[in-house]
A and B are shown apart, each in its own frame.
Chain A
Amino acid sequence: MIFNFKLLEYSLSSLWRRKEKNIALIIVYALVIATLGSVLLLTHALKIEAVTTLTAAPEIVVQRTQGGRHELIPVTYAETIEGFPGVGKVIPRVWGYYYDSLVKANLTLIGIEGYQEQLELLEGHFPQSPDECVIGSGVAAAFGPQIGDLLVLEDSSKRRSEFRVTGVFHAASNLLTNDLVVLQEAALREFFAMPDGLATDLTVQVYNSREISTIAKKIAYFLPDSRPITREELLHTYDSLFNWRSGMMLAVFASALMAFLILAWDRATGISAEEKREIGILKALGWETSHVLGAKLREALLISLTAFIAGLLLAWLHVFVLGAPLLVPLLKGWSVLFPTFDLPRVVDLYQLTVLACVTILPYLACTLIPAWKAASSDPDDVMRG
């Protein structure tokens, strides 16, 4: 029966006869799948982005706190930490945030020292003088300058500083470099009026990953005003952040799922009198229950697979081509912090399988169960209604 093409022909003809209803059904179904798919694609892309970012992060970052606030850390702390067994390089980093009210985006300004090994240039060269800078692709897109152009920034006293762009970043993670402006350390200290001998934080290289937490405890013990943050803790923070975002997304996901279930329920309970009568006629003509179910299964598969593929394509376009404009309001805080950037175009097959199971299987069940109820009754009963 599987290869009975006449049953497939019947299914196609049946779908065509109710084309207005079926096209409307496919549109609604595809939109629900597009919503569900957008949520899954976006949250997965964000998680991948976060994981990629952390791969390049140092084992420990040491900050200094005073009165619960983050303060600049003395560079001399680096020498103390380097003295601990198992510790490799300790690099003072100089960086800060710069908010541009015109483009409504926060940029991260960093000194090249301490970062050069993590960053890879797409084009150009790293700054070789205090008036040169390298920018992330998001900065280039938001502010417009390309290699050779000037990037103009205002410091806290409204003094304009001009930097010649000498390179644009390429990094495994767009999130890592997208909002970066890299300057020479001296230029950055001048821009942020940061005194010599102090840094924003220290990065600590640990040879043996199993010793990271021990070394972090040692740092906290010997330098009581410091706050060591391990990569594990960063991962946990990112995970919480994206899980929280996912939680917001879950609301959208749940709403879309609810819409789908209503659609499916309507389908399950709403087999029309015309469809029932048709099933009764086919039974009276000698069709077996399995023939009717085979034909209805083909119809349901054609509708659900068409809607699934169309919905996924819409979701892919929405998230990866258009930048998820319908979901961005839920990520508003995040989008203000960073200029927009391209999400990694990664699709998780497991999630797609789950999405297919959540949307296709219930629809098939909701189509087949009422058809089975009608088809397993005596034709006389079905035709009498």
Chain B
Amino acid sequence: MNADIHNGGPLIRIDEVSKIYHHDKPDEVRALQNISLELFPGEVVALTGPSGSGKSTLLSLIGCMARPTSGTIYLQERRISRLPEAFLARIRRESFGFVFQQYHLLRDVSVLDNLMFPLYPAALPFMVMRERALALLEKFTLSNKQKTKVRQLSGGEQQRVALARALMADPPIIIADEPTAHLDAELSSELLGILTELHAEGRTIIIASHDPVVYRSPLISRRIALRHGKLVDENQAAGAEQ
């Protein structure tokens, strides 16, 4: 994996972070309000809460895909929330692997090319990229689909391609937003199996999900509940879920 994460302290520290969309406009949305939390190396954290609770926004902030309106985010004690875009892009490329709820694959591009896109800026030799992509396709039993266009794949296959793409740069942190939203029970179970393997490899995994199959899984080491953009007591949240 790319980053050295063995220092005993938190891997990610979020300090009084708020995120407001359309700030000072009539359609202003306070997605997150004064969130503070710490995530440690090797954890598998589930962010839970109903739709609109701020799970996806928090994932975006952690993954450097958006900047907080206020507050600070630290990655291995380095303040990253105000870094210039080029540095954030490098952090996204080297530290995080994203699995989006909508997969966000390029639908008219082959599976193999979709996997290689994250490595294009690195200008690695083509054969190195290809070998890495083929190895991941084999791991996810997609070897026979390498030349298939993404739009010709089933939902489960697209999910696995998205997961394989997230691993192309061998990141230490995997971020997954509602990874089972479009999967049936069998495929959800298969996905959890893959995530378990990734955790076993030493990766930190942060999952946003309101699917009990995910957040009640033994894989999850900690649950963080969100309501209306605020952290809530986990027991209170569990009670509300029942």
Contacts and interface: CB of A to CB of B under 8 A. Distances in A.
Contacts of A381: 66
Given A6-B120, A281-B104, A378-B66, A289 B86 contact: yes
A16 to B, nearest CB: 9
Interface in A282-313: 282-291
A379 B65 contact: yes
B108 interface: yes
A287 B113 CA distance: 15
Nearest to B67: A378
A7 B86 CA distance: 17
A378 B90 CA distance: 14
Nearest to B118: A285
Interface stretch (B91-99, B131-139, B208-216, B231-239): B91-99
Contacts of A6: 116, 119-120, 123, 126, 129
Nearest to A4: B123
A10 interface: yes
A9 to B, nearest CB: 8
A286 B118 CA distance: 6
Contact of B117 (A285, A378, A383): A285
A156 B55 CA distance: 98
A282 to B, nearest CB: 7
Contacts of B60: 378, 380
A284 B106 contact: no
B163 to A, nearest CB: 14
Interface string B71-115: 000000000000001100110111000101000111011000100
A275 to B, nearest CB: 11
A257 to B, nearest CB: 35
Contacts of B14: none
A380 B106 CA distance: 16
A376 B85 contact: yes
Contact of A284 (B92, B108, B120): B92
A131 interface: no
Given A281-B104, A290-B86, A17 B109 contact: yes
Interface residues of A, number: 27
Nearest to B95: A286
Interface centre among B57, B65, B89, B104 (most CB of A within 10 A): B89
Contacts of A288: 85-86, 89-90, 121
B120 A287 contact: yes
Interface string A1-41: 10010110010010001000000000000000000000000
A82 interface: no
Contacts of B89: 283, 286-289, 291
Interface string A193-219: 000000000000000000000000000
B2 to A, nearest CB: 11
A286 B92 contact: yes
A286 B94 contact: yes
A291 B106 contact: no
Of residues A17, A278, A281, A291, which shows the largest number of chain B Cβ atoms within 10 Å of its Cβ?
A: A281
A7 B124 CA distance: 11
**Which of A280, A282, A289, A380 has the most C-beta atoms of chain B within 10 angstroms of its own C-beta?**
A380
A292 to B, nearest CB: 9
Contact of B169 (A281, A286, A290): A286
B165 interface: yes
Interface in B158-202: 165, 169
Nearest to B110: A13
Given A6-B129, A282-B117, A284-B98, 10 more contacts: A4-B120, A6-B119, A6-B120, A284-B100, A285-B92, A286-B169, A287-B121, A289-B85, A376-B85, A383-B104
Interface of A: 1, 4, 6-7, 10, 13, 17, 277-278, 280-291, 376, 378-381, 383
7 contacts: A285-B117, A286-B89, A286-B92, A378-B67, A380-B65, A383-B100, A383-B104
For the complex of A and B, 7 pairs with smallest distance between CB atoms:
A286-B93, A380-B66, A288-B89, A380-B60, A285-B118, A380-B65, A6-B120
